Structures are given as structure tokens and as C-alpha cells.
Chains A and B, each alone.
Chain A
Amino acid sequence: MILKNSWVQIHKILLKPEERTGSLPPDTKQVPFEMWDKGFLTKNANIGDEVEVITITGRSVEGTLIAVNPSFMHNYGTFVPEILIIDKMVKTFLFGGDDQ
């Protein structure tokens, strides 16, 4: 159970594929137009329930509850070793190699 006033994320389908505009590439036309928003839960609920939230600007928005205390987990990604090659290339070209 997720308690009332918890900070949560909701998801909502705004337009079904058949409701989307005509000027879309075929791959986009096949999928719904979706929305994610965050706010404070107005009633106790469980993940997957249809809920109402009050957003940080005070708007009431309804959608499916998908997360509580939603977190940002983005990072710098897995290491890209090419970056070290670039460093070596430009430093050697400008300042000379280690033996110089």
C-alpha cells in the first residue's frame, strides 16, 4: 500500500494509435501517445491503480500509478575507451610523444 500524500509517478495514454495525427511516420503511428507526470497521491493506492495526484504546481492529474519516490538513475554510461585514444592522439600531435 502506498500512502496518501506520497510523491509518486503516474503514466497515461493521451492518444491511442488510431487517434494520432495523420502526418506521422508509420512506426510512430502504430504506438500510443503517452505521458508521465509526478505529484502527491490524493488517496492510499497500489502500483497499477488508477489514481489522482496533485502536481508540484498544484494541478490535479489522473493516471496509472507506476512508481513511488521516483528516482533519477541516469549516469555516465559504460566506459567508452575511444575517449582515451582521442586524448593520446591530440596530446601527442600537439606536444609530442612520451619519448620527446
Chain B
Amino acid sequence: MKQDNSYAAVIGRKNSIMKTAVGIDYNQYETTNISFDYERLMKETGYSLAQIKKIQYSHGVGQTPLKELPNLSALARKIAPTGYGARIFIKDEAQNDSGSFKARRASIACYHAKKLGFKGVIAATSGNYGAAVASQAAKYGLKCIVVQECYDSSGIGQPEIIEKARACEAYGAEVIQLSVGPELFYTFLTLLETTGYFNASLYTPFGVSGIESLGSELIEDCLSKTGKLPSAVIITNAGGGNLTGTARGIKKMTDEKIQIIGASVNLKGLHMASDHDFNRKSFTTGHTGFGMPFMTNPDRSDVPRSAARALRYIDRYVTVNQGEVFFITETLVALEGIERGPAGNVALAAAFSLAQERKEDEIIIVQETEYTGAGKHHQAQMAFARSHGIDIYFGDPAEEIAGKSIVLPSRIDQIKAVDLDLIKIKQSAIKNQIKDWKKLTATDFVYLIAETNSTPDFVRQTLTELNVDWEEE
């Protein structure tokens, strides 16, 4: 009998397709009503930090330099109160093979796929992850397919995404490009089913634990360079894996409190599934359009239970505007002589603002950079935005309206990271987890505390407001 490959039929087979394509039976980690055992999932299906480093260091990944940015710190001190303006460091992740920290995630996914005997890997991504998977797949002799959301209905592609398609093809991957829409997932499932390849998802334990080495290395690097620990690490946040993996790696190195700060580009008002809005944003990732929904509902990803659970680790979440990131990206070139891609500099823009709140002897680390080149450059992104009618001007970045304007700061002290309300985000996450359940078990209760990195009282109050009963031990 011929298999039904209609949209509804393929989506209906989602769970069985994923089980085969990831090699994990997620059901065995489910506990009660809403909860699952996250740590057991990570432990049993992932790799130890020592194993991760061994795999990565023999495949062109990791041991990237941690660089101090003295001129950027000095610039921050010019506008900070006396005695303030922390030392800013960046982990130069552009030095990984394929040019971004995503190589860390891809290295473990591809190693695992090879170990399990898969012939190839598939990743759904318009970002650096595609090039990372293609590069790592090349090393293991695996076939590779990358599925991209790339073009609007006029056939116009984001220059940044076109560049990533080029990089993927250069590393030997087949690149399937799609127009805008969530039906990408349908194409992705169909490909997994027909090829039998491994789903190199960003959200498996492999895709997340691969970043633990980054958290670990930045602690080692910071201690060897400065003799002390950073007071904060700032992480560009989208799907949550970068933040989760980095924080987990840091925790494996030290019990000292290091503040974990997430930063996203503010794209409020733009619809992520809109054909019209698609080419009116200048960041294809690292933005609130992914950051917020994934933080409040991590299991919306392409696996049944996402290993990327940012809310478990984040202490503070800030946004910056597109104009601020472009400004800082150019400042990094002008003052430090380091030319990198803008999407990797979201956390750097936030760090420039947040450094001014911290004393001069404190250290803050921005944990990534990404490669730059044709298409994937602030010059290319701004030119593209301007050609789509986006108004680019100097002014107060707070005036920026995503999709209409890019406001470059007219004064350096106008670069301001804006705090998001983590309490509201945590309440929203609890609401999303509960779905239609009216009563939760004691296991669920403890799970929600861990999921939101909060307190029993916070969860009690939130559940009461939601009219949900619960048990406690």
C-alpha cells in the first residue's frame, strides 16, 4: 500500500518519525501529568564533558581564544559612573571550523549519528547551524541535507541566509530552500522519513550538551588569563540551547554564582510566519521572535522534549535593538580591529550597556562571535534593509520600530539593554506547561520549580491564580 504523504498524514506520524530519526524514546523520560526527568534524559542520552571535549578537539571545534576588548571597555567607562565599567571579554567562536559556536552542537550530533550507523544527517535551520552540520558531516563521511526557510513569495532571499546556503553547499550538503511558513516542518518530516537520516536537531541532548564545553572553557580561559571568575556571562538567546548548554558547562566548573544573562534583538511587532515581514527583519536569529516563545514553551521544538530549557538557568533577560547591534558590530571593527558577523554580536551590544552597571575590576564575558562575509555582514544587512524601505538613521534607538526603522544611536550613551520581566515569563511558562490539566502531582510541582528556576511559593501562587490544584510531598 502506498504511504499517505499528505500534510495531515505526515504530521500525524510525527512521533514515530522522530523516534526513529533521533534514536531516543522520549516516552521513557515522562514522569507524571506534565513532567519529565530532564536530568536523566541529559545524563543517559548525552555525553560527559570529558567525552564532548575529546570529540570536539579532534574535529576542529573548541579551544577558541578568549579575547579582552580593552578599547570597548574604555569606551563604556567614558560614559559609566566613576569606578564603573567592567572588563569585557569575548570568546572568539568564529574560529571554530564553519565559523560559529554551532559547530559545538553539530560535532556531537554528527558523532552520535555516525556511531549509531546513520548514513546521513538532516537539519532544519536558516542559521549558522546548517554550515556547522555540513562541515562536521563532511568530517565523518555522512551525507547532509539542510532545510532552510529562505525566500519570500517574490523569490527574494535574506542575504544572510543565502550566504549560509552557499556555505552548506561548499561543505557538500544538499540545501533545500523553502518559502516562508511553518510547513517547513512537514517537508522536514517527509525528508527524515524518506531518507532514514538522523535528525541533527538543535534541541536533542547532543545538540545542547555540545555547548557545555563552551561554558567550561570560558571559565578555564578566564581563570588562566585574569586569575578570577567572571561576574556575568552574556549569551545571545533564540531557541535557548546556547544559554542552556553554556550555563550547564559553567556549573560543571564552579559552584560560585555567575550571573547568566540572555540577550535577544527586539523584533516586537514582526510576525515570524509573515511573508511580508520576513525580509523586513535584519536578524534571522538571536531575536525575541524565537527567544520568547521558546523560553515560555521549550517543547515547541522539533523533538518531543527539548533539551534547551533556558528558563532553568537564566538570571536576567535583556533586549537590544537592531541599530544598537549594528553600531556595536562596527565599533568592534573600528576600536578592536575585529570584523565579525552581526548576529553573533547581540550579546556584545548588551554587554556594552551592562558593563556600565558593574565595577571596573569585574569581568563580563560575551561567549560567542560568528564569521562574517558577503551577505553576512552589517553592511550587507543594512543595505538590504534600506532596499526594502526600512528607514536607517541616527537617533535614539528606543524609537526603533522593527520592520520600519533601524535607529543607530546618535550618542554612545543611548545604547541601553532593556530588561524583560522574567516573573511574567515564568508565569507564562507555567501556564503553557499546564495546558488543560486541573490537578498536578507532587512530582509536577517540583518539576515546575526546576523548570522556572523559582521557589515553591512562586509556583504555589501561580498555580492558585490559574485555578489549578496540586499535591506536595
Show the binding face of A for B, using Cβ within 8 Å.
14-15, 19-21, 23-25, 27-28, 30-39, 55-59, 72, 74-80, 82-83, 85-87, 89-91, 93-94
Contacts and interface: CB of A to CB of B under 8 A. Distances in A.
The 7 closest A-B pairs by CB, nearest first: A77-B383, A31-B153, A74-B375, A34-B179, A36-B177, A87-B334, A86-B330
B113 to A, nearest CB: 14
A82 B7 contact: no
B76 to A, nearest CB: 10
B183 A75 contact: no
Contacts of A91: 334-335
B169 to A, nearest CB: 8
A55 B145 CA distance: 10
Contacts of B153: 31-32, 34
Nearest to B145: A57
Contact of B182 (A21, A57, A58): A21
B378 A74 contact: no
A30 B394 CA distance: 36
Nearest to A21: B183
A1 to B, nearest CB: 25
Given A87-B334, A90-B412, A38 B174 contact: yes
Given A55-B174, A94-B78, A80 B375 contact: no
Contacts of A21: 7, 181-183
A15 B78 contact: no
A19 B7 contact: yes
A93 B177 contact: no
Interface string B134-153: 00000000011100001101
Given A86-B408, A91-B334, A91-B335, A24 B383 contact: no
Contact of A27 (B144, B159, B274, B381): B274
A14 B174 contact: no
A33 B181 contact: yes
A56 B408 contact: no
Contacts of A35: 176-179, 187
B349 interface: no
A57 B195 contact: yes
Main secondary structure of the interface of B (DSSP, over half): helix
A74 B163 contact: yes
Contacts of B275: 25, 27-28, 30-31
A70 B288 CA distance: 34
27 contacts: A14-B187, A19-B7, A21-B182, A21-B183, A24-B182, A25-B271, A25-B273, A28-B181, A31-B153, A36-B178, A56-B172, A56-B173, A57-B144, A59-B174, A72-B163, A74-B166, A74-B374, A77-B381, A77-B382, A80-B379, A80-B392, A83-B330, A83-B382, A90-B412, A93-B75, A94-B75, A94-B78
A28 B183 CA distance: 11
A77 B384 contact: yes
Contacts of B412: 89-90, 93
B151 A34 contact: yes
Contacts, number: 151
A15 B180 CA distance: 12
B386 interface: yes
B331 interface: yes
A34 B182 contact: no
A22 to B, nearest CB: 11
A84 to B, nearest CB: 9
A76 B380 contact: yes
A77 B375 CA distance: 8
Contact of A85 (B175, B181, B377, B394): B394
A61 B471 CA distance: 54
Most B CB contacts (10 A, CB to CB) among A39, A72, A90 go to A90
B120 interface: yes
A40 to B, nearest CB: 12
B327 interface: yes
B268 interface: no
Contacts of B13: none
Interface string B299-337: 000000000000000000000000000010011011100
A85 to B, nearest CB: 7
Interface string B184-199: 0011000000110000
A25 B352 CA distance: 36
Nearest to B379: A76
B110 interface: no
A80 B383 contact: yes
Interface string B360-402: 0000000000000011011111111011000010100000000
Contacts of A33: 178-179, 181, 183
B462 interface: no
Contacts of B333: 87
B54 interface: no
Contacts of A30: 275
Contact of A23 (B144, B178, B182, B394): B182
A55 to B, nearest CB: 5
Contact of A15 (B75, B176, B183): B183
A83 B406 CA distance: 13
A93 B178 CA distance: 45
B228 interface: no
